[in-house]
Amino acid sequence: MARLYTTATRSDGGDDEGAGPGAGEDRAKPRWRDRIGRWRRGWIVAGFALVLALLLLLHSRIPNQIGNLGSLTQTFLPWFGLAIPVLAACAALRRSATAVIAVLVPSLVWLDLFGGLVVDKTGGDDGLMVVSHNVDADNDDPAATARDLAASGADLIALQELPQDEQSTYEEGLAEAYPHHSVLGTVGLWSRYPLKDAEPVDIGMGWTRAMRATVDSPEGEVAAYVAHLPSVRVQFRAGFTAGQRDDAADLLGHAIAEEPVARTVLLGDLNGTMNDGALAPLTSQLRSTQGAAGAGFGFSWPAGFPMARIDHILVRDLEPVSSWTLPATGSDHRPVAARVGF
């Protein structure tokens, strides 16, 4: 007797020959494996994300004993956030749920540290307007820089790195708008209001790079400090050479702590950021106008492509109203400006 065989035809036109009872289960396995794999994949990416989160969270614990590594990290700390979108892209490529969740951790830490700076907190046009600028000893056009600063409309202008042979240029360029001024060493202060008690402040440099004066403003006396802390360098053998700057910050902090005038403003190139724990002698007793009333990070150096805010306006017993960065001049720094209320 002849046997009849029936061949099942699949909907796609192919034969389902050889498809046994477990064939459907075999086809389902990859889906389950993919779901499980989303949690098992991406551990390396997740590890990097958690290390980044710890670095951001514990940056103040990074020691300075070895090449001032802590200060170097804190100087460029906001830029570590650029690693977050890179890690997020890697997590997406790996299709890893574990990595995606891990990347959220440094994202939240970064937002906690710097999210407030991104928000626009600038106020109105009231209050005393102050400007600080490292004019650069190698400035090719100091006369133009002086004109730009005079056009800012500031009530008080503090300059650092004034070369002796160009002091007269700045004096002439600012004389009309600022009848009161004092220059000591390589720092100077120009004011619309009378100045008194101008004197150098010793920051251990051997020559004058810091001064203080009392500004007799219409709202009352303000003690104004102008400072240019020692420069820092990154060297292969020595690391981040910030020891001299740290000592100067400590001396300046002691001077401000003993200041008898309650309303105090510090304007200057501090060669460090507000995240740098080495500047604690200053940041522990003064408020940053950029942090309190700015919009964005307000990076001031280098002028061509600013990467860090090392030029600051810090206040005590004055209320920050607005803070911003002025357009570049002939200097390698950008001027920083703020309005402070009484």
Q: Let me know whether 142 and 81 are in one domain.
A: no
* Domain-located, residue 46: yes
Percent of the chain with pLDDT over 70: 86
* Domain-located, residue 13: no
Distance in angstroms between the alpha carbons of the first and the last residue of the chain? 112
Q: Determine contact, residues 279/309, Cβ cutoff 8 Å.
A: no
Q: Identify the CATH number of the domain in which residue 299 sits.
A: 3.60.10.10
The pLDDT, as a whole number, for residue 325 is: 97
Q: To which residue do tokens 């802390």 refer?
A: 229
* Domain-located, residue 17: no
Q: Please give the residue range of the domain that contains residue 290.
A: 128-341
Q: Region 287-295: what's the mean pLDDT?
A: 95
> Would you place residue 183 in the very low, low, confident or very high pLDDT band (cuts 50, 70, 90)?
very high
What is the Cα–Cα distance from 105 to 342, expressed in whole angstroms? Answer: 40
- Per the structure, the count of domains in the chain is 2
Point out the domain boundary residue: 118, 144, 178. 118
Q: Let me know whether 188 and 73 are in one domain.
A: no
Q: What is the pLDDT of residues 116-166, one digit of tens each?
A: 888 899 988 889 999 999 999 999 999 999 999 999 999 999 999 999 999
Higher per-residue pLDDT: 19 or 224: 224
* Domain-located, residue 6: no
Point out the domain boundary residue: 87, 118, 149. 118
Q: Region 72-99: what's the mean pLDDT?
A: 93
Q: Let me know whether 219 and 330 are in one domain.
A: yes
Q: Let me know whether 182 and 60 are in one domain.
A: no
Whether 102 has a pLDDT exceeding 80, the answer reads: yes
Q: To which residue do tokens 């006396």 refer?
A: 221
Whether 21 has a pLDDT exceeding 60, the answer reads: no
* Domain-located, residue 7: no
67 residue type, one letter? G
Q: Region 269-295: what's the mean pLDDT?
A: 95
Point out the domain boundary residue: 56, 86, 118. 118
Q: Let me know whether 76 and 195 are in one domain.
A: no
* Domain-located, residue 226: yes
Q: Region 81-85: what's the mean pLDDT?
A: 97
Q: Let me know whether 113 and 238 are in one domain.
A: no
Whether 28 has a pLDDT exceeding 70, the answer reads: no
Q: Let me know whether 109 and 72 are in one domain.
A: yes
Q: Let me know whether 151 and 243 are in one domain.
A: yes
Average pLDDT, the chain: 89
* Domain-located, residue 18: no
Q: Let me know whether 110 and 55 are in one domain.
A: yes
What is the Cα–Cα distance from 294 to 224, expressed in whole angstroms? Answer: 21
Comparing 18-22, 98-102, 109-113, 262-266, the range with the smallest average pLDDT is: 18-22
The pLDDT, as a whole number, for residue 238 is: 54
The pLDDT, as a whole number, for residue 14 is: 47
Q: Let me know whether 183 and 302 are in one domain.
A: yes
Q: Region 262-276: what's the mean pLDDT?
A: 96
* Domain-located, residue 8: no
> Would you place residue 70 in the very low, low, confident or very high pLDDT band (cuts 50, 70, 90)?
confident
Q: Let me know whether 158 and 192 are in one domain.
A: yes
Higher per-residue pLDDT: 266 or 234: 266
pTM for the predicted model, two decimal places: 0.84
Listed residue (300, 287, 235, 301) closest to 256, CA to CA: 287
Q: Let me know whether 141 and 270 are in one domain.
A: yes
